[in-house]
Amino acid sequence: MPSAAKAKKAAAKKGVASKAASSKAAAAAAPAPAASPAEPVKADVKLIFPISLTARQRAAVHTIGERYGLPHISQGEGAERHIVLGPAGAPTVVLAGPAEVCDASSSGRDSDQNDGTSSSSAGTSGSAPPLSDDQLVALIKQHLKLDASEEFSYTNSSSHGGGGGGGGGGARRPAVGSGPWRRAEAAAAAKPGSKGLLTPEDFIAWVMPLLEMEREAEVAQAEEALSAGSPESAAAKGRALLNLRLADAEGGLLGRTLLTLVNNKGGGSEPLPPHKFSPHDIVRLRPSKGDGSGPPLAEGVVYRVRDSAMTVAVDDVPDEGLDVPLRLEKMANEVTYQRLRAALTCLGGEGQRGLAAPLVDVLFGRRSPRFDSAPPAWQPLNSGLDESQQRAVTLALAAQDVALIHGPPGTGKTTAVIELICQEVARGNRVLACAASNVAVDNLVERLARQDSRMPIVRVGHPARLLPQVLESSLEARVLQSDNSALAKDCRREMKALNQRLLKLVSRKDRDERQAVRQELRQLAREERKRQERAVQEVLQGAQVVCTTLTGVGSRQLDRLQFDVVVIDEAAQALEPACWAALLKGRKAVLAGDHLQLPPTVISKAAARAGLSRTLFERLQDLWGEAASEMLTMQYRMNSAIMEWSSQELYGGRLAAHASVAGHTMAGLAGATPEAAELPVLLLVDTAGCDMEEQEEEEGDSKWNDGEARVVMEHVRRLMAAGVAAADIGIITPYNAQVTRLRELRPEALAGRLEISSVDGFQGREKEAIIISMVRSNAARTVGFLSDARRMNVAVTRARRHCALVCDSETVSAGDPFLARLLAYFEEHGEYASAGEYDAGGVG
Ligand SMILES: Nc1ncnc2c1ncn2[C@@H]1O[C@H](COP(=O)(O)OP(=O)(O)OP(=O)(O)O)[C@@H](O)[C@H]1O
C-alpha cells in the first residue's frame, strides 16, 4: 500500500474508530424508555435533537414523547432531519452534543465522554459528535424537568407467550411474563380521554391535502417529461422510448394482447436506450413522430422488460397505425389516488366503518389492543419456525384487533406471516393478504401455495402485473374455469351470431325482425354481464385467502367483501392511506414490516416533509410499541460480522445470527477457489486521495462516479477469480446515474447475471456478495441522502457472506456521523484497501 494511502487510512481510522467505539457503548446501554406510562408532563420548552442520534435513539425520543404526552415529530430531510420534542409554541432549546450535558446537567455523569464540543447552537448540525445513550437521557430529564430518579431501561419484548400453543393472554388476564397485554392497557390508560391523540377526522383532514400534493407531483413529473420538452428530452429523462418497432403481437394473457416492442435501430437487435420503465407501469403507445397531442394508438401496462425488448399488455389492439416507428410514454397513475381518496372517505364516515369500527378505535389510540384470554392453541405447520417466529404467530393469533410483527432483515417475517395465514385459515377465518408491491404479493401467493397446495387462494390484479407462476391463482384464471363464465361465453357466442344476422337485416321489410334481434341482444348482454359478475363473486366468496396489492383492494370486484383478518406484509413500505382501504375490510389487522428499512416512495418533497412518508406501521409502533408487537430476532442470511453493525446501530443489539449462517464465508461457497479464503467478510475500498470525484447529471440531479465504477468492476473480477458466480454478486448504489454507468461498464457476457440496481431494487432480496458504490466524493463533504440510515441498512443487509463498501472515506465520514460509524465498523471488523491499488489491478 502506498505510504500516502496508509497515512490517510491511519488518519481516517483514528477519526472514525473512536466514534464506533462510543456507538458500541451506547448500544450496550440502550436506553429505550420503559413502556409503562407516566403522568403527562407540561413542558415549557421544546427540544431539537441533533441529527447524530442513532435510529434507535430517535425511536426512544419518540417513545418518551408518547409516554409523557408530549408532541414529538421528525422534521426536515437528509442532513437536515431532526426530532422536535415538546409543545409547538414553547421556546426552543437546540441540543448540540455531549458537552451540553456537562455544562448543564447536575448529574455530573459522562464527563469522560465530553469531547469539548460547544454546547451553544450547533443545533442540528451533522458535525456534532454523537450523544451517548446516558447523555441523551440526562439531557431530556434536565430540560423537561423529569424525575431524575426515573429509570429508562431497555425493555425486552420477548417475554410474552411461547410458541406452538404457548403464550396467549388477555386484556383482563394476568400476563404470561410481563406480557404485551398489560402494557397495552396501561399505555391506553396514560391517554385519558384520548386527549392529544389523532382522530380519524384529524388524520383525514391532514392527509388529504398531502395526497393531493403527491398526485400533483406525480402528474407534473409525468407531464413535464412528456410534453414540456421535446420527445427527445422526455427520452433523455427515461420517461419515453422513441423509434420502437412492433416485433410481435400475441394473444393469450387472459384476453389481453401482448405487444413486444424493440429498438428500430439495427433491425431490432440493439438494446433499448436507458429508461425508467418497469413492469406494471401504465403506458401509452403513439407514432414516434409528432408532438404527442392526439389520441394514443393504445394504452396498456408494461408486462416484461428485457435489455432489448419491452412487452406491453393492451386491452384493445388498434386496427392500424402499428406499422410505423412507435413511441412509448410512461403515464401517471391516477387510479391509485382515486382509490386512496375513496378509502379515506370511508374511514371518515363513522357509519361506513362496518366490522372494522373497533379496529379503527384501536389504531387511533382510543382503545387499547385486546388479546384472547385463553392462550391460542396451534401446531406449527412449518416445523422449522424459531422461537421468536412462534411468539410472533402466537401474538397475532391471540390478537383481537391488531398485532405488529417487526422483522429486521432476513429474520423471516414473511415466513411468520405465511404460518399465521395458514393457522387463521385452519380456524375457518377468511384472510385478506396484502402488500404495497405486486412482487411482495406474488411472493405471498407462491409461498402459501408451497406451504399448502390445496389452500383456496385467489390473486386479484391485472394479469400483466402478476408473475407467471401465480397466474394460475389469478382471479381471471379462476373465473374462466367457472360454470357461470362458460355460460357468459355462450352468451357472447350467440350475440356474435345475432350481430352478424343484424348486419343482413337492412331492408324495410326486416324491421320487425331487426327489433326482435335487438331485443334479444339486449337480453343476452344483460345475461352475460350477470353471469360474469356471478362468476367473479362466486370465486371470491369461495376463496379463503384473497391476495392483492393495497391499491388492488380498492378495485370494484372487492367492493362488498369482508374478512376476519387483514394481513399487510412489508407494511413499513406502505403509505398509511393505502393501508386503510384494506383495513376497513377486516375485523383484525396484522402488520409485518421493518420501519428501519426503506420507507414508501413519496415524490413530493413538501408532502414528505409534512409527514406523508410516515407509515402506519411506524405510527403504531410509536402508539402501542411492544404492547402489540413482537420482534423477530434470529436472522438467516448474514454472517454475524455483517449483521452486527445493523444490529447495534439500528436494532439495539437484539439480532442473532442462526448457526447455519453466523460464520459462513465466501470460502464455503460451492465452486470457490483457494483465493476465496482471502476474501474478508467486510471490506472497505477507500477512494480518498485517489482523484475519483463525483459528477452530476445535466438534466436531473442524479450523480455518478467513474473512478468508483471502475473499482467496483475490478472487485467483481476479483470475486469471480475466486470462483464466485456472477449471479451471486449484487452491486448496489443509491444513485440512478451510477446504476447506468455501472451497467455500461458491465461486460456484455454478464448482463443477465450480474445484477446492478439501486437500493430500492434490492429491498427484500439477498446475494452472497454485495458491493456498495457510495458515489459521493466532493470538497464540500456533502453526502445527500446517503445519510438515510434506513437506506444504508437495506444496502448492507442484502449481503450473505461478503460486503464491500467502495467510497471516499474523507467525504463520507465527514459528511455524516452515522456513515462515519459505518466506515469505522468496516475498518475495525474487516479489511481496508486503497482504491489506488485496486484501480491499478494490484489487489488480490
Ligand atoms: N426458522 C427458519 N429456519 C430456517 N430458515 C428460515 C427460517 N425463517 C426464515 N428462514 C429463511 O430465511 C430467509 C428469509 O426469510 P423471509 O423471506 O421470510 O424473511 P423476511 O424477514 O421476510 O426477509 P426480508 O427482510 O429480506 O424481507 C428465507 O430464505 C427463509 O426461508
Q: 563, 589 in Cβ contact below 8 A?
A: no
Ligand 1 atom with least separation from CA of 409: 25
Query: Whose alpha carbon is nearest atom 3 of ligand 1?
Result: 384
Q: Which residue has the higher pLDDT, 618 or 231?
A: 618
Ligand 1 atom with least separation from CA of 415: 18
Helices (H), 122-277: 133-144, 180-189, 200-223, 231-236
Ligand 1 atom with least separation from CA of 411: 21
Residue 636 Cα to ligand 1 middle (Å): 6
**Which pLDDT belongs to residue 509?**
86
DSSP annotation string for 274-333: S----TT-EEEEEESSS-S-S--SEEEEEEEE-SSEEEEEESS--SSSTTS-EEEEE---
Identify the CA nearest to 257 among candidates 226, 299, 196: 299
Cβ partners under 8 Å of residue 704, min gap 6: 694, 695, 697, 735, 737, 738, 740, 741, 775
Q: Label residue 427 by pLDDT band (50, 70, 90).
A: very high
- The amino acid sitting at 770 is I
Ligand 1 atom with least separation from CA of 385: 1
Identify the CA nearest to 144 among candidates 67, 74, 196: 67
Query: Whose alpha carbon is nearest atom 27 of ligand 1?
Result: 764
Give Cα 333 to chain centroid, integer Å: 19
Identify the CA nearest to 638 among candidates 755, 793, 788: 793
Residue 416 Cα to ligand 1 middle (Å): 9
Residue of 450, 569, 636 best suited for mutating to test ligand 1, as the one with most atoms within 8 Å of CB: 636
Residue carrying the nine cell digits 412509448? 328
Residue 441 Cα to ligand 1 middle (Å): 16
Ligand 1 atom with least separation from CA of 597: 25
pLDDT at 719 over 70: yes
Identify the CA nearest to 229 among candidates 219, 240, 218: 240
* Residue 689 DSSP symbol: T
Query: Whose alpha carbon is nearest atom 5 of ligand 1?
Result: 636
Residue of 386, 390, 414, 444 best suited for mutating to test ligand 1, as the one with most atoms within 8 Å of CB: 414
Residue 635 Cα to ligand 1 middle (Å): 7
**Which pLDDT belongs to residue 42?**
75
The total of other beta-carbon atoms located within 10 Å of residue 558's CB is 21
**Which pLDDT belongs to residue 35?**
38
In short, whether 447's Cβ falls inside 6 Å of ligand 1 is no
Cβ partners under 8 Å of residue 625, min gap 6: 35, 63, 66, 183, 187
Q: Which residue has the higher pLDDT, 838 or 713?
A: 713
Query: Whose alpha carbon is nearest atom 26 of ligand 1?
Result: 764
Using alpha carbons only, give the angle 168, 173, 177 rounded to the nearest 5 degrees.
Answer: 60
Could you tell me the three cell numbers for 801? Answer: 457472506
- The amino acid sitting at 479 is V
In short, whether 413's Cβ falls inside 6 Å of ligand 1 is yes
Residue 71 Cα to ligand 1 middle (Å): 37
Torsion angle of the four alpha carbons 595, 598, 600, 604, in this order, in degrees rounded to the nearest 10: 120
Residue 768 Cα to ligand 1 middle (Å): 15
Q: In this predicted model, what pLDDT tens digit does every residue of 613-654 receive, in sequence order?
A: 899 999 999 888 888 999 999 999 999 999 999 999 999 999
Interface predicted TM-score (ipTM): 0.97
Residue carrying the nine cell digits 480518498? 688
In short, whether 660's Cβ falls inside 6 Å of ligand 1 is no
* Rounded Cα gap, residues 598 and 594, in angstroms: 8
Q: In this predicted model, what pLDDT tens digit does every residue of 397-423 receive, in sequence order?
A: 999 999 999 999 999 999 999 999 999
Residue 61 Cα to ligand 1 middle (Å): 30
Cβ partners under 8 Å of residue 355, min gap 6: 562, 586, 587
Question: What are the residues facing 704 on neighbouring strands?
Answer: 695
Give the mean model confidence (pLDDT) for residues 45-51.
Answer: 76
Residue 78 burial (10 A CB sphere; 0-12, 13-18, 19+):
middle
Ligand 1 atom with least separation from CA of 384: 1
> What is the value of pTM for the model shown?
0.67
Query: Whose alpha carbon is nearest atom 19 of ligand 1?
Result: 412
Residue 413 Cα to ligand 1 middle (Å): 7
Query: Whose alpha carbon is nearest atom 8 of ligand 1?
Result: 412
In short, whether 785's Cβ falls inside 6 Å of ligand 1 is no
pLDDT at 270 over 60: yes
In short, whether 446's Cβ falls inside 6 Å of ligand 1 is no
* Rounded Cα gap, residues 515 and 289, in angstroms: 46
Ligand 1 atom with least separation from CA of 632: 21
* Rounded Cα gap, residues 110 and 22, in angstroms: 12
Bridge-based pairing state of the strands 298-305 and 282-287 = antiparallel
* Rounded Cα gap, residues 402 and 620, in angstroms: 10
Q: In this predicted model, what pLDDT tens digit does every residue of 486-514 receive, in sequence order?
A: 777 777 788 778 878 877 887 888 888 88
Ligand 1 atom with least separation from CA of 386: 1
Could you tell me the three cell numbers for 376? Answer: 391460542
Q: Label residue 159 by pLDDT band (50, 70, 90).
A: very low
296: left (phi over 0), alpha (psi -120 to 50) or beta: beta
Q: In this predicted model, what pLDDT tens digit does every residue of 356-402 receive, in sequence order?
A: 999 999 999 989 999 998 878 999 999 999 999 999 999 999 999 99
Torsion angle of the four alpha carbons 667, 669, 673, 678, in this order, in degrees rounded to the nearest 10: -30
Q: On the CB side of 486, how many CA atoms lie within 13 Å of its CA?
A: 3
Q: In this predicted model, what pLDDT tens digit does every residue of 179-211 receive, in sequence order?
A: 333 333 334 333 333 334 678 998 999 999 999
551: left (phi over 0), alpha (psi -120 to 50) or beta: alpha
- The per-residue pLDDT of the chain, averaged, comes to 78
**Which pLDDT belongs to residue 679?**
96
DSSP-based three-state secondary structure for 592: strand
First to last CA, the chain: 13
Q: In this predicted model, what pLDDT tens digit does every residue of 506-538 receive, in sequence order?
A: 788 888 888 888 888 888 878 877 877 888 888
In short, whether 135's Cβ falls inside 6 Å of ligand 1 is no
Residue 801 Cα to ligand 1 middle (Å): 16
Give the mean model confidence (pLDDT) for residues 322-344.
Answer: 85
Identify the CA nearest to 124 among candidates 15, 51, 204, 45: 51
pLDDT at 540 over 80: yes
In short, whether 414's Cβ falls inside 6 Å of ligand 1 is yes
In short, whether 784's Cβ falls inside 6 Å of ligand 1 is no
* Rounded Cα gap, residues 175 and 180, in angstroms: 8
The total of other beta-carbon atoms located within 10 Å of residue 117's CB is 17
Q: What percent of the chain has pLDDT over 90?
A: 36
In short, whether 163's Cβ falls inside 6 Å of ligand 1 is no
Give the mean model confidence (pLDDT) for residues 441-455.
Answer: 88
- CB burial string 7-36: b at 16+ within 10 A, e below: ebbeebbebbbebbebbbebbeebbbbbbe
Query: Whose alpha carbon is nearest atom 7 of ligand 1?
Result: 412
Residue 727 Cα to ligand 1 middle (Å): 20
In short, whether 407's Cβ falls inside 6 Å of ligand 1 is yes
In short, whether 409's Cβ falls inside 6 Å of ligand 1 is yes
Residue carrying the nine cell digits 395526497? 211
Residue 55 Cα to ligand 1 middle (Å): 23
**Which pLDDT belongs to residue 483?**
75
Ligand 1 atom with least separation from CA of 408: 25
In short, whether 384's Cβ falls inside 6 Å of ligand 1 is yes
Ligand 1 atom with least separation from CA of 766: 26
Q: On the CB side of 628, how many CA atoms lie within 13 Å of its CA?
A: 34
Give the relative orientation of helices 576-583 and 200-223 as an angle to the nearest 10 degrees: 120
Q: In this predicted model, what pLDDT tens digit does every residue of 765-782 receive, in sequence order?
A: 899 999 999 999 988 888
Identify the top-confidence range among 230-234, 634-638, 739-743: 634-638
Separation in Å, CA 586 to CA 376, 554, 559, 580: 20, 14, 13, 10
Residue 415 Cα to ligand 1 middle (Å): 6
Q: 259, 311 in Cβ contact below 8 A?
A: yes
